Chains A and B, each alone.
Chain A
Amino acid sequence: MVRDIVDDPLDEDDIALVKTYGLVPYSAPIKKVEKEIKELTEKINDLCGIKESDTGLAPLSKQMMQEGQPLQVGYVSCFRYIPIDLLMDIFSRVPAKSIARFRCVSKLWESILCRPDFKELFMTMSSIRPPLLLFTFQDDDGNLFFFSSPHPQIPCNENTSLVPTRYHVQHTTDSFSEIGSPLCGFICRRGKRNLDTMVICNPVTGESVSLPKVELKSINTETRPYLGYDPVRKQLKVLCIKSDDIPNTCDEHQVLTLENGNHLWRTIQCKPHYPKSDGICIDGILYYTAGFDMRARVSMVVCFDVRSEKFSFINIHVFMLMNDSCTLINYKGKLGALQFTCLSPKRLRFWVLVNAEKNIWTKCIYALPPLWNNLVQHTELAIVGMTDGGEVVLSQYCLIYAFYIYYFNLESKSLTRVQIQDVEMFKRTRVYTSLGYVENFKLMTDYDRGFNTFSPQGRLF
């Protein structure tokens, strides 16, 4: 039965009628109670002088709406009815820069934005969104400057440029730091001179945490830190691989779980090897290429299970020709690798590990498009990685006059050059470009020992 448009709420007759449509027995008392609550609420509202029959417009505006006039109050009046969990949902969808600004809107907003469950939600939403590019510059005094930007929409026109967001400046005491790839919004850097010093930094919060010094067996011990994420226990760990100049001697390495409180290195055993590439974390396994020593060829891909802290190895045959400049990537959830050929004409090699147990890789080699000579010429480019859309991202190592990154689509052979603006002051400075940067507001104090209570919805590495 279709009801006529009336202004009354449901009355006794209506409830009786709805009852006859075969609702389960308990719904009648519920409806009765609901009706009582509604009547009481109306009584209270009448006493307060508020008339409310919808989601809450002030009486004056409601009257004006009915008269057909537009809302004249000049602000969003029903905003005050939005519950905090919906506010957090909205906030989790804006970039970190906006969050930082909104902290001074009011004390209520400041308190919401500093809540640990909000930071967890922000991190989750950040991870679901397409990851950002991160550019790191270091000046002669050791100060680190971080910039991020979303990827441009490819395909885009020739003159596309990106204006990146700049974060907190990090002041370091050790110039020429080695900087690793970001993971979960954190970056691990190691002093170039002080090999036993590792620092974890977060560009968004500006927090910089020094880890306890790593134990060095001799003055010739080298260290290489990697970040790894265990999605099951939601823990971020730092793995420090040590190697000596006498090959095959160093089988003790160290691992540390990032959390609030005292950070302690734990010793773990693994056969001696010399790490060569940056690490990439896929589904809780950290991968990096390695050789037997510094001068040896790449002979293995090391797989470190972040949760169990166990190592396994994928043998790299000499005919694969993987070298020190090979970049590991995440190709649709599988491990991939990209590398330029040494001999000219310069081409791009692309491997994908299709079967880890049987060590089966697909291998492709791609010629560079003719446009390469015009756009890139003789500039040395670093292979940064591959986007979800299958574009290989390449970056200058160093800013000369302008800073460009390149997108190379292997299938369509299209090459796009994109300029990064507002970084001209870093002329002749080394730049580290990374993919997969995720904005994260968490401080070290937000990481509890053991399990986090909030479970993220999206996939996290």
Chain B
Amino acid sequence: MAARTRLPLLFSKNLPPFKNQKLAHTEAAVKEPTYPPIVPSLTAKSKSARGRQVEDHVKKICASPVDEKLSLITRIQRKKFVVYPQTFARNADRWYQHFTKTAYIPGLPERFALDPEKRTGVEKEESSLPAGAQTTVPGVEIDAFADIRSLVTRMILQEHWHMKKRKPFLYREQEQMVGPFLRNLVTGLTYSLAKYNPLLPLSSLDIDPQVNFYWRRGQRIIPKGHRRGRQEPTRFQIDDQPHSQIRITQQLPQFTSLEASYAAEVPEVAFAPNLMPLFRRQYDNNIFTGAKLPDPACYGHTQFHLVPDRYHRDRMARQQQSDQVEVFLRANGLASLFAWTGAQAMYQGFWNHEDVTRPFVSQAVITDGQFFSFFCYQLNTVALSVETDANNPRKNLLWGTESLRLYESVQDGAVVGLNDDVVKLLVQFLVNQP
């Protein structure tokens, strides 16, 4: 009797589970134990453990803010090849193209074309110009261009005619004669073109800045030592000191799309870099655009370079090495611009394993006082080390001109043969804006 009275209570408890068959199955599934993911060990003395350490390091770098990223990437010092932008090595531009994965395109991009049809075509699109005004540079009136011409002639005369300079010391000619001229030219041009380029008043003009960049490309097998037989990445460092540079707050627009660079050709050099000749040293790994990280003007606009004093164009022509003249300038432009754009990309947080999402663009002018060469560089990829370069179709692009003469000579207080095209190109370079 007592059991009978208790039965409804027991029965009522068990009722809900037996009504719904589904609940019984899900409860059984939840009770199964789960295991943590199976990954290689972290501290074992094995290749998979080393791989896991590298992966963890990469994830740590990806997850940290930009300044910590830079310090983690440049933390460990090892022997690296020091790449000098101004080098007298033969065929240096082919070697540098291989180190930086850059394709060279002779001539300048379409924006800087010197054809009159293209210029008139661009004029019609410019609504700010009054109808019928003929300009030599789109966006700049002809009076302003005449002003700029007179400014350039004044600078040239100032340095070479009006100022009484003693004969320059040995190998100090560029520093004494051309350096002040270029400085005055750059400051004068930026001031006069400030009203045509809204970025210039907000830009920062550095004189004698430092530009450094550190990257890894390629591998080699260590021939001797306790690490013999193992793969070692080849490290490079560029330490450059351009004469002056302009940094702006916004980025310049790209010259071509990223996909257009897939078809470009980069010369492959199968030999080790020390055959170039290139030498290895170990010191601080620096990545620097010209200003520290929190600076708002973090994107680059134009760099100006002076040619070193031992570079004598006529001496090279006498020794039948005229082709090396252009090679030297191209190598200089390539290395300097790659270092600058690479450092700009690093400042934005892109590095070897996180490739750039938008191309970084910069310009450079290399001169020895009379001859000017113009270079434009588009950085499409920073992923140059072996593991990231395996499936990377992107290439960096360098456009460059041959050296163009600015003026023939200075006689009797007047500049003879001032080349308008060169002045036009200078103005176009400085007016370039997004």
- Binding between chains A and B: no
- Please give the residue numbers on chain A whose beta carbons come within 8 Å of chain B beta carbons, in ascending order: none
- Please give the residue numbers on chain B whose beta carbons come within 8 Å of chain A beta carbons, in ascending order: none
